Structure 1
Amino acid sequence: MKKLTVLFLLLLLCAAGSFAQDRGDGLMKQAKSALEAKEYVKARYNFLQSYNAYATAKKYAEATEAGVNVAKLYHRENYYKEAFDMLNKVDMVVGQGELESGRQMPELHYQTAKERMNMYVKLKNPAKSKEYLNRMEEFAKNSKGSLDDDLLYSQANYYYTFGQNALGDAAINRLIETYQKGKDYEKADECYKQLIATATRTNNARLVARTYERYNHWTDSIRALTAKDELHAMKAKYDDSLKTIEEKDHSIAVKTGIIVTLGILLGVLAAALVFGFIVLMRYIALNRKLKKNIMVANEHNSLKTEFIRNISAQMEPTLSTLDQKLPAVKALRAFSSHIQQLSDLESSLSEHYEMQDNNVLAFCEKVVDDAKAQMNPDVNMVVNAPKMSARFNPEEVEAVLHHLLVNASLNTPSGGKITLEFKKRGAHTLQFIVTDTGCGIDEEHREKLFKPFSEVRDLTKGDALGLPICSLKATKMNGSLTLDRDYTHGARFILEIHDK
Structure 2
Amino acid sequence: IQERKGQELNLEEAKHKAELADKMKSKYLADMSHEIRTPLNAITGFSELMAFADSDEERQGYYEIIKTNNQLLMQLINDILDLSKIEADAIKISYEQVDINELMDTTFASVKLRMPEGVLLFLEKGSCACSFGTDSIRLLQLINNLANNAIKNTKEGSITLGYTCLPNKCLKFYVKDTGIGIAKDKLESLFTRFVKVNDYVEGIGLGLAICQGLVTKMGGSMHVESELGVGSTFSFVLPSHEE
Q: TM-score, normalised by structure 1?
A: 0.32
> Over residues 271-311 of structure 1, what are the superposed CA-to-partner deviations in whole Å (9 max), with x where a residue is unaligned?
xxxxxxxxxxxxxxxxxxxxxxxxxxxxxxxxx9xxx9xx9
Structure 2 residue 118 is the aligned partner of structure 1 residue 378: yes
Specify which of 135, 141, 149 is matched with residue 407 of structure 1: 149
> Over residues 355-376 of structure 1, what are the superposed CA-to-partner deviations in whole Å (9 max), with x where a residue is unaligned?
2222222211110101122211
The CA distance in 2 between the partners of 1:471 and 1:453, in whole Å, is 13
The residue that corresponds to 1:323 in the other structure is 44
Cα distance, 1:332 vs structure 2: 6.2
Specify which of 384, 389, 396 is matched with residue 138 of structure 2: 396
Specify which of 154, 173, 184 is matched with residue 443 of structure 1: 184
Cα distance, 1:347 vs structure 2: 0.8
Query: 8 Å contact 1:359–1:389 — kept in the other structure?
Result: yes
The CA distance in 2 between the partners of 1:474 and 1:445, in whole Å, is 21
The CA distance in 1 between the partners of 2:192 and 2:138, in whole Å, is 20
Report the secondary structure of 1:441's partner residue. Answer: coil
Give matches, 1:40-439, under 5 Å: 323=44, 325=46, 334-348=75-89, 353-385=93-125, 386-414=128-156, 416-439=157-180
Query: 8 Å contact 1:324–1:330 — kept in the other structure?
Result: no
Cα distance, 1:398 vs structure 2: 0.8
Query: 8 Å contact 1:382–1:419 — kept in the other structure?
Result: yes
The CA distance in 2 between the partners of 1:393 and 1:434, in whole Å, is 19
The number of equivalent residue pairs is 185
Report the secondary structure of 2:192's partner residue. Answer: coil
Instruction: Evaluate the alpha carbon distance shift between residue 459 and residue 378 of structure 1 in structure 2; reply closer, same or farther with a 3 A threshold.
Output: closer
The CA distance in 1 between the partners of 2:118 and 2:105, in whole Å, is 18
> Over residues 79-100 of structure 1, what are the superposed CA-to-partner deviations in whole Å (9 max), with x where a residue is unaligned?
xxxxxxxxxxxxxxxxxxxxxx
Structure 2 residue 235 is the aligned partner of structure 1 residue 494: yes
The CA distance in 1 between the partners of 2:69 and 2:161, in whole Å, is 33
The CA distance in 2 between the partners of 1:387 and 1:421, in whole Å, is 14
Instruction: Evaluate the alpha carbon distance shift between residue 459 and residue 346 of structure 1 in structure 2; reply closer, same or farther with a 3 A threshold.
Output: farther
Cα distance, 1:388 vs structure 2: 2.2
The CA distance in 2 between the partners of 1:377 and 1:439, in whole Å, is 16
Higher helix share: 1
The CA distance in 1 between the partners of 2:211 and 2:46, in whole Å, is 27
The residue that corresponds to 1:465 in the other structure is 206
* Matched AA of 1:492: T
Cα distance, 1:454 vs structure 2: 4.1
The CA distance in 2 between the partners of 1:377 and 1:459, in whole Å, is 19
Structure 1 vs Structure 2 CA RMSD:
3.7
Gaps of 5+ in 1: 1-303
Give matches, 1:18-29, under 5 Å: none
* Matched AA of 1:323: T
Query: 8 Å contact 2:182–2:226 — kept in the other structure?
Result: no
Cα distance, 1:333 vs structure 2: 6.0
Report the secondary structure of 2:168's partner residue. Answer: coil
Report the secondary structure of 2:223's partner residue. Answer: strand
The CA distance in 1 between the partners of 2:234 and 2:197, in whole Å, is 24
Q: TM-score, normalised by structure 2?
A: 0.63
Query: 8 Å contact 1:422–1:431 — kept in the other structure?
Result: yes
Q: Among all aligned residue pairs of Structure 1 and Structure 2, give the percentage whose two residues are the same amino acid.
A: 26
* Matched AA of 2:193: P
Which of the two has higher C-alpha Rg? 1
The residue that corresponds to 2:50 in the other structure is none
The CA distance in 2 between the partners of 1:487 and 1:393, in whole Å, is 33
The CA distance in 2 between the partners of 1:331 and 1:359, in whole Å, is 30
Instruction: Evaluate the alpha carbon distance shift between residue 456 and residue 333 of structure 1 in structure 2; reply closer, same or farther with a 3 A threshold.
Output: farther
Instruction: Evaluate the alpha carbon distance shift between residue 488 and residue 392 of structure 1 in structure 2; reply closer, same or farther with a 3 A threshold.
Output: farther
Instruction: Evaluate the alpha carbon distance shift between residue 493 and residue 457 of structure 1 in structure 2; reply closer, same or farther with a 3 A threshold.
Output: closer
Cα distance, 1:446 vs structure 2: 1.7
The CA distance in 2 between the partners of 1:456 and 1:488, in whole Å, is 13
* Matched AA of 2:154: T
Report the secondary structure of 1:395's partner residue. Answer: helix
Query: 8 Å contact 1:352–1:478 — kept in the other structure?
Result: no
The CA distance in 2 between the partners of 1:357 and 1:487, in whole Å, is 38
> Over residues 416-445 of structure 1, what are the superposed CA-to-partner deviations in whole Å (9 max), with x where a residue is unaligned?
121112111112211111111222112233
Query: 8 Å contact 1:483–1:493 — kept in the other structure?
Result: yes
Instruction: Evaluate the alpha carbon distance shift between residue 333 and residue 390 of structure 1 in structure 2; reply closer, same or farther with a 3 A threshold.
Output: closer
The CA distance in 2 between the partners of 1:359 and 1:425, in whole Å, is 16
Query: 8 Å contact 2:100–2:130 — kept in the other structure?
Result: yes
Instruction: Evaluate the alpha carbon distance shift between residue 388 and residue 442 of structure 1 in structure 2; reply closer, same or farther with a 3 A threshold.
Output: same
More contact order relative to length (CA 8 Å, sep ≥ 6): 2
* Matched AA of 1:481: M
